[in-house]
Amino acid sequence: MKKTSQASRAKAPPVPETAISSQDRRRMIAEAAYFHAERRNFEGGDPNEDWYQAEREIDQLLARYAPAERLQHPH
């Protein structure tokens, strides 16, 4: 059994296994866009703008909680 020193163990902080698939990202955006429309009782507004706003919000949220290199969607 190989022994490791405390110094070598301290070098690598734990990395959460929270990679987001493109399908999960799209689902999150779709739900957020739906809630935007729901807040205005599905009257007026622009579904494309709801989507773009939701996309910005979800990408900001994901960037805050998962480093960009862990996200699995193309830009």
What ranges do the domains of the chain cover? 19-72
Which one is predicted more confidently, 64 or 72?
Answer: 64
pLDDT at 74: 56
pLDDT at 5: 45
pLDDT at 16: 45
Helix axes 47-65, 22-39, angle to 10 degrees: 130
pLDDT confidence bin for 68, thresholds 50/70/90: low
Beta bridge partners of 20: 71
